[in-house]
A and B are shown apart, each in its own frame.
Chain A
Amino acid sequence: MKKITCLLIVSFAFAMVFSTSAFSARKTIIKIGINAPLTGDIPKVGEGSKFAAMMWLEDIEKAGGLEIGGKKYDVELVIEDNESKAESAVKANTKMITQDDVIAIVGPQSSSQAVPAGEVANKYKTVMISPWSTNPNTTLDRPYVFRGCFLDPFQGPVVSNFISDEFGLTKAAVLYDVAADYQKGLAEEFKKAWEKRHGAGSIVAYESFTTKDTDFSSQLTKIIKSGAEVLFAPQYYNEVPLVVQQAKELGWKGPIVGSDSWGSTETVQLCGEACYGLYFSTHYAAAGATGATKIFIDRYTDTYGYVPDDVAALTWDALRLAEQAIKDAGKITGRIEKDRQAVRDALAKIKNFAGITGNMTFTEEGDPIKCAVIVKINDKGEYEFFKSICP
């Protein structure tokens, strides 16, 4: 008994003395939090965010740290999983802010997590940039919350105008998931914009389903019978193939147009040739990109083996925005509350930030004014730039 105790104490003391971290002074490390859905319903989104963040960190480490006011600081990423759950996102944000002392947070991606998590960030006066959340409530009345993408009230009219101008059609149908706030909001915005242009009754079919439905034949039959000329389908990447394939099987001939939720590479992998030739609105186009966007895409593809989707690109932009804001803040005092405030003020002032998903300037609400891109899925299954529409 005694021997064991002695041995334990001695080994413990040794471990303490030789462990690298013992007795070292606390350094000022700049920490940036990533709140991403690494597990749960949409792990692909979380993976994209994580990979983009790791690439960003690699860049900073190569440069030997982040230079602020002539001094280099080490940067650390705190990546937290929000399990695609609202309360988990809140917990993750609270943990990162109060426990890890992050200076800014990037994420969560989906609105259902970004809205409650934004409340926490705002309460603790910490900058949060949600790269992908399109719900207006995320940033509404929250001076510390920003986003990296355009909003539904902008995207709806963009798609509506694109269809009217490009195809000259007047009768549209909409299929949306009533339980997904993203799809529902966007469907409403689209309907409003379309009816404004073509008059009441020009949406001939407005059909809904619920999350995890896989058979859309009854809705699609109604849509086909209604005499609609174009179908607007703002589904997520896991549902798009089902909708498109089933529509074609049932004899749908017209175009199907989607929204930024189509942006994942999985869409084409799952859908195959049925999706070739379709259009959707999104944040950036991977095929035929130039400049910094191309460099990012090539690097990501080389490292992780697939073309980055819009979430990865937006996360990259959000991180670069945070980086820019931290640099603009001028100096790091080590007092985290003060530094966070400085970062927030600097971020709000950023004008014409050149991101890989377009130039950004923030409005009062913390929403960027940026262009939407219409992408065509070409014959090789790539996302090809078709047209850019600016506000």
Chain B
Amino acid sequence: MGTIKKFKNYFSNIPMLGWLLGVFTAVLIEYYWGYDYISYYLGLPKIPALFGALFMLKDPYMIPGVMGYNLIVYIIPILLIAKITTFFTNPTAFILEKMPLWLSVIIHLICFYGILHLWAGINDYRALVVKLTMISIILTISINVINGYQGEFSCSHPGFMAIGAYISSVLTLLFFVDDKIFGAALLPSYLGPWIFPLTLIAGGFAASFGSLIVAIPSFRTRGDYLAIISLAFMFIIKSAIENIQFIGGARGMGGQPDYATLPVIFIWTMLCIWIIHNFVTSIMGKALNAVRDDEAASESMTVKTRKTKMTAFMFGAFWAGIAGGLFAHVLSYINPGTFSLTRLAEILAMVYFGGLNSIVGSIVGAVSISVLGEALRPLELYKWIIIPLILIFVMIFRPYGLISFKEINAKRLLRSKNKKEEGV
């Protein structure tokens, strides 16, 4: 115990900027020497995509190689560089601290994105995993508004996602692509990436209008009953799409252009985190919590419960619609079967694993379930034993999820860690 504490203490004076610099160095090392030198001499066939989990599980002989790779490429450079550069990262962080918080956050985010872009660019598989993980983050945060902050149990998220996915796909196919369903493109295709956000927003609005079907009964029912209504809504959407022939019915719809690139998804994810954070910390967000804790009491304390519930539902559904639109353009194919019970189970697992009532928790949940699902891929069937087991243990020991009812303070996270200056 003592050594861990000492270890932690030793690295405690590194600001976020220092860590970012360390990771940046690690990624650079991987980028320039990863394939030709490091993985070659360690006997690995390629650069390990997800820290070597796939190699290790497939061939135990590669475990030392993978461990060595992770040590040489990630752990040692990150710790070393982060520690060495504290002499100037701390003062820089101090300067950033004096700036307005939003500016400092944006600078950090740009640095973070640069690193992420470089890291994901090494391998297309990695990029795809990162993209889908970020979409999961949007989904998880948006369901957290309903299931966490408002405390309902809504099961209609795949339905909202489907509406968003279909509406934005129809729009992009109609306007920018020559395809079999809608014929020639109505607008020149170079406009596509610029108008794509609008189609996403249209999908989001369509989803939030769809959510009214769930929101209105939610005035009268709570708990199990609402769960059933929202589940029914999901199935209604699925069957409706199956029976609408001109958007492909059960055959699905394909050929969406590749507009959902990594920067696009990253920007949407950050927007989502920022806007939802503002939403839940606003008066409306407090009202949501009040409705969750005691509806009658909050009504008597002048909270408009109807309006609150409706807004929360429409707001959550809007972001689910955005996520659906992004999802459709990452995969270039959607069919109604994609937005069904399995998807629901996945989303619910992410939000309950990560933690209710917490944006950070949602991010942790989405990332860990997505990455675990990918990393344990070689185990095939056993993957579906291990992940649920982890979920069960989390539920036993932390019934509200890993990080629940907690928010991270951006200012504290980004501040300079120099103890002398702290003392001043």
Contacts and interface: CB of A to CB of B under 8 A. Distances in A.
B197 interface: no
Contacts of B128: 90-91, 94
Interface residues of A, number: 43
B125 A22 contact: no
A95 B49 contact: yes
Given A38-B380, A98-B125, 4 more contacts: A20-B61, A26-B45, A95-B54, A179-B336
Interface of A: 1, 12, 15-16, 19-24, 26, 38-39, 80-81, 85-87, 90-92, 94-95, 97-101, 111-112, 115-116, 119, 124, 135, 137, 178-181, 184-185, 210
Contact of A86 (B44, B45, B64, B333): B333
Contacts of B91: none
B399 interface: no
Nearest to B6: A1
Interface majority SS on B: helix, strand, loop or mixed?
Answer: helix
Contacts of B334: 86
Contact of A81 (B65, B125, B239, B377): B377
B402 to A, nearest CB: 24
B23 to A, nearest CB: 21
Contacts, number: 119
Nearest to B124: A98
Nearest to A39: B381
A377 B354 CA distance: 52
Contacts of B193: none
B218 interface: no
Interface string B312-347: 000000000000000100011111111000100000
Contacts of B49: 95, 99
B374 interface: yes
A124 B128 CA distance: 14
Contacts of B129: 91
Contacts of A26: 40, 45
Contact of B251 (A23, A119, A184): A184
Nearest to B338: A86
Contact of A99 (B64, B125, B333, B380): B125
A117 to B, nearest CB: 9
Nearest to A95: B125
Q: Which of A20, A181, A184 has the most CB of B within 10 A?
A: A181
Interface in B12-37: none
Nearest to A25: B40
Contacts of B242: 178-179, 210
Interface string B35-62: 0000011111110010000100000011
Interface string B357-383: 000000000000000001001001101
B337 A112 contact: yes
Nearest to A177: B250
Contacts of A178: 242-243, 250
Contacts of A100: 46
A91 B383 CA distance: 16
Interface string B252-271: 10100000000000000000
Nearest to A119: B332
B124 A87 contact: no
A137 B129 CA distance: 26
B219 interface: no
Contact of B65 (A22, A90, A95, A119): A22
B377 A184 contact: no
Contact of B254 (A16, A38, A98, A115): A115
B278 interface: no
A111 B45 CA distance: 32
A21 B374 contact: no
Shortest 7 CB-CB contacts between residues of A and residues of B: A21-B43, A116-B333, A15-B64, A98-B124, A181-B251, A22-B43, A181-B250
A115 B332 CA distance: 10
A16 B243 CA distance: 59
Nearest to B48: A99
A115 B252 contact: yes
B68 A16 contact: yes
A87 B331 contact: yes
A94 B125 contact: yes
Contacts of B61: 19-21
B67 A181 contact: no
Nearest to B71: A12
24 contacts: A1-B3, A16-B65, A19-B62, A21-B65, A22-B42, A39-B380, A39-B384, A86-B334, A86-B335, A86-B337, A87-B338, A90-B128, A90-B333, A92-B377, A95-B377, A98-B124, A99-B46, A116-B332, A137-B254, A179-B238, A179-B336, A179-B337, A181-B250, A184-B250
A124 B123 CA distance: 13
B249 interface: yes
B148 to A, nearest CB: 25
Given A16-B65, A116-B254, A24 B338 contact: no
